[in-house]
Amino acid sequence: MNQVYEKLLKCYESVKEKVDFKPEVALILGSGLGDYADTIQVEATLGYHEIEGFPVSTVVGHKGQFIFGYVGKVPVVIMQGRVHYYEGYSMQDVVLPARLMKLMGAKTLFLTNASGGINREFSAGDFMMITDQIASFVPSPLIGENIEELGTRFPDMSHIYDKDLQDMIRGAAKDLSIPLKEGVYLQLTGPAFESPAEVRMCGILGADAVGMSTACEAVAANHMGMKICGISCISNLACGLTDNPLSHEEVFEAATKVAPLFKKLITESIIRIGDR
């Protein structure tokens, strides 16, 4: 059997042995949102280290566990701490958790992250609903023998971010009076922040925000037929747009500052997704 698939199934068996819960929505938490789970009704938690073969994250500010519970009445699985390509994992390992959450039963993937704003109309602290993405600068997680059990060899990517989910998020933001920007997210490998010239390049290519995650997970989830939505917290203006040097601490702090609003938006959006 395909080794990537074998590893995924092993993780799935390991999860099934320990937790009996069928989520509808899978949520991946970005920087600053680590404590979102404190706001939900938790039914079970499962540390990544308890799952056989699971890639374990090393980034400061990322706890490593799945949380199972309810947002309103919606059964969710939350990934508290994601795995990044720059940590040295293969792209197949980076997307393993997203695939695993689909096997657990989640039909919808809700992606969140912190990113650098490129669009001149954006300010630090804004939220950007992701309407499309550029993943061309990172290896595709689908490279290698296709896992037919998950999806087709050449998946269509016309609508990675589901239109109906976008409408629900727009509606949630409007009703909560939370201003919501929209745009294209571009993933680079990191871990270095971009140079000003790279940021200019990203802008010319059509990106509104740049970060080091998310797009690869969306590719893998789309391959599996999940419905996907995403919101990015513009934690800073990308390099060259201000005179401030960037640091992880600053990004983390900025994301943490607007996290309460971000959490409200996520909760209201998930409730609407569940009511669909």
Alpha carbon distance 8, 12 (integer Å): 6
Nearer of residues 68 and 122 to ligand HPA, judged by Cβ: 122
Nearer of residues 221 and 251 to ligand HPA, judged by Cβ: 251
Which of 23, 32, 211, 274 is close enough to bind ligand HPA by CB under 6 A? 211
Nearer of residues 66 and 193 to ligand HPA, judged by Cβ: 193
Give yes or no for residue 267 binding ligand HPA (CB under 6 A).
no
Going from the C-alpha of 213 to that of each of 113, 210, 217, the distances in angstroms are 7, 9, 8
Give yes or no for residue 238 binding ligand HPA (CB under 6 A).
yes
Judge whether 223 counts as a catalytic residue: no
Please state the φ and ψ torsions of residue 70, each to the nearest 5 degrees.
-125, 135
Please state the φ and ψ torsions of residue 231, each to the nearest 5 degrees.
-130, 135
Give yes or no for residue 259 binding ligand HPA (CB under 6 A).
no
Select the residue whose beta carbon is closest to ligand HPA and give its number.
116
Q: How far is the CB of 2 from ligand HPA (least distance, A)?
A: 32
Give yes or no for residue 235 binding ligand HPA (CB under 6 A).
yes
Alpha carbon distance 193, 190 (integer Å): 6
> What are the residues facing 184 on neighbouring strands?
132
Which of 28, 67, 91, 251 is close enough to bind ligand HPA by CB under 6 A? 251
Footprint of ligand HPA on 102-131 (CB under 6 A): 114-116
| Given the residues 2, 43, 182, 248, the one annotated as active site | 248
The tokens for 16 are 């099934």
Going from the C-alpha of 217 to that of each of 48, 88, 100, 225, 261, the distances in angstroms are 17, 16, 11, 12, 24
Closest-CA residue to 161 (of 70, 227, 260): 227
Write out the catalytic residue numbers: 31, 62, 84, 86-87, 114, 212-213, 236, 248
Binding site for ligand HPA (CB under 6 A): 114-116, 193-194, 210-212, 235-236, 238, 246, 251
